Amino acid sequence: MAKTASSPPLLKKAPTGITGLDEITNGGVPEGRPTLVCGSAGCGKSLLAIEFLIRGAIQYNEPGVLMTFEEGVEDIKKNVASLGFNVDELIAKKKLIIDYVHIERSEIEENGEYDLEGLFIRLGYAIDQIKAKRVVLDTIETLFSGLTNQAILRSELRRLFGWLKERGMTTIITGERGEGQLTRQGLEEYVSDCVILLDHRVYGQISTRRLRVVKYRGSTHGTNEYPFLIDEKGISVLPITATGMDYTVSSERVSSGIPALDEMLGGEGYFRGSTVLLSGTAGTGKSSVAAHLADAACRRGERCLYFSFEESPSQIQRNMRSIGIRLDQWTKKGLLQFHSTRPTVHGLEMHLVLMHKLISEFKPSVVIVDPISNLQSAGTLEDSSSMLIRLVDFLRKEKITGFLISLGSMGNQQESTDEGLSSMVDTWLLLRDIELGGERNRALYVLKSRGMNHSNQVREFLISSKGIKLVVPYLGAEGVLTGSARLSQEAREKATKLVLKDELRRKEMAMEHRRKAMLAQIEALQAGFKAEEEEFARMRNASQLAANTLEQDRDAMARSRK
């Protein structure tokens, strides 16, 4: 068979405008075809369908018709108004029609064979009125509940799907989930081109909503379960369950806010966009280290997002003021944002969705999670590990420096974490208590830091009113000393040095005295020697004078004798 040069036409898609859903479906739901959204009660089917309709009218200029069989028009308007959409305005602009079809089984009398032709006419009229491109039927089970002849209904339902397809309507039909099958009738999922399953599960009294694209004819799509969030802005779907590892990394370094710690990290601090894990037991100062990083980031003019699962923003800011860090100044300037909540408020997947949403909106350079160990209370250890790994991947992909705090328990092996993140993080700082001399002191060391020549020293970790100070502990014959033992040993060494210095000075002074005495003696000897030389010279001159005089006298006497 000869190959054709031209490629087959790609399936056209209608974007939903729902955050994350278009990424999962690679562009949206199939254009001009029916899509089934099914799930149990309260999972968000109607909201997803209505948001698809309204965003289509607002963002893509595609008018839509909502035919509802359960809720009245006014109820729907109120529900949608809570998401910030003005339905009345859309209706006035002929962008939207909401048609409520009241179906009450007690008011229906079946007589002979019947069909849904009346429904087609009613729906067709609404479509023609505004030249609609999108249709939502919510929900199809109500239509079934009003009539008992299931054979006719199944036939008519198949005819309805075909009719919508012939008219080129991009349609979303909501359906209740059945026992052991996606829908109660078990037909809708087969005649739909795309099937999206919503799930609202409860684990340990914590609920989580999830979305899965079960089927999508003619198109590839994400096949995993994706958590989604319903908030005041509508539905947000987290489009990842695990990101790839094709992200680039930065060689830029950012300060930790503690100069001595920067020095231990090769002199320049963390790599920008890296992930840092700080683990330690309660009261070792983990949050203080995080506050230094937040303060340093804000001083650079960068944004920091602080997720706290133990303390409120006010508590954190008050506590950090006691060590000289004023975080409130950065919150007022909009550079620092806190998000404090108990882990059990949401399921883990919901926490992850919320974190993604807040990070995407605030666009921070630094994200702090304090502590990650509390997330286990919202699920299992495996679930929290999986959630944190996806968070780390997301932060790396966005080139955001992540700072994760892990709370360890006393007696546990410190050089490991319950969450299993030790091999994933780029830098791992460990804070530990050292009991010595009847007191407990803190110590910090860098367990690992990829890509840099980091220190292998254990530094004593001091918290003062001026922040954190890292001190080199005493290393000597008595071992590693910290706290008052270090101070006592340093005092003894200082006293010994003073004694040696005093003895040296005393000997130096004695030597100076001896030197001066020696010089004085030398000077005296030189003076005596000089005097003797002068006396000898005087005597020599006198002798010479006497000899000359005697010679002259002899000459005079000789001349007098003639």
| Residue 530 to residue 164: CA distance in whole angstroms | 136
70 is catalytic: yes
| Residue 1 to residue 163: CA distance in whole angstroms | 36
Cβ atoms of 24 and 35 closer than 8 Å: no
| Residue 355 to residue 351: CA distance in whole angstroms | 6
Q: What share of the chain is helix, strand, coil (3-state, %, to 5)?
A: 40, 25, 35
- For CA atoms 376, 321, 258, 282, give the dihedral sign: negative
The torsion angles phi and psi of 138, rounded to 5 degrees, stand at -135, 115
Contacts of 59 (CB under 8 A, 6+ apart): 15, 17
Which of the following is catalytic: 23, 70, 263, 268?
A: 70
| Residue 370 to residue 284: CA distance in whole angstroms | 14
**In 3D, which of 201, 67, 75, 44 has the Cα closest to residue 134?**
67
Strands 401-407, 366-370: pairing is parallel
| Residue 395 to residue 378: CA distance in whole angstroms | 21
Which of the following is catalytic: 23, 31, 268, 310?
A: 310
**In 3D, which of 91, 69, 257, 258 has the Cα closest to residue 173?**
69
Place of tokens 């002191």: 441
Dihedral of the alpha carbons of 353, 358, 359, 365, in degrees to the nearest 10: -150
419 is catalytic: no
The torsion angles phi and psi of 180, rounded to 5 degrees, stand at 75, 5
Residue positions annotated with a catalytic role: 70, 310
